[in-house]
A = this chain, B = another copy of it.
Amino acid sequence: MDKTICPKFEKAMSLLGQRWTGMIIYQLLKGPQRFCHIETTVGVSGRVLSERLKDLEQEGIVKREVYPETPVRIEYSLTEKGLSLQSLMKEIEKWSETWVEE
């Protein structure tokens, strides 16, 4: 690996390695969703989900959209940067399915 890629690689690894983050991205690959839907399908607590979504927004991986309806509707979705994680996510899934014991 080129020396200049090392810090980027490390940053990506530590970001995606955070507990729940991978699962949240994986879930969002299915399309825009509301907070409570992610909460239920991923099985993460609201407090942690809210933290992770904020981190992912800050990293430019997730975007939050507010629709001014009554009641207001808020949806989370992946940005282009987030969507480009698809093949990486598939590789992790494939590898863990084959090699990781429960």
Contacts and interface: CB of A to CB of B under 8 A. Distances in A.
Interface string A1-18: 100111111111110111
A87 to B, nearest CB: 6
Range of interface residues on chain A?
Answer: 35 or more
A102 B8 contact: yes
Interface SS, A side: helix
Contact of A96 (B12, B96, B101): B12
23 contacts: A1-B23, A1-B26, A1-B27, A1-B93, A6-B23, A8-B96, A8-B100, A9-B93, A9-B96, A10-B19, A11-B102, A12-B96, A12-B99, A12-B100, A13-B17, A13-B22, A16-B17, A81-B99, A84-B95, A84-B99, A85-B95, A88-B88, A88-B92
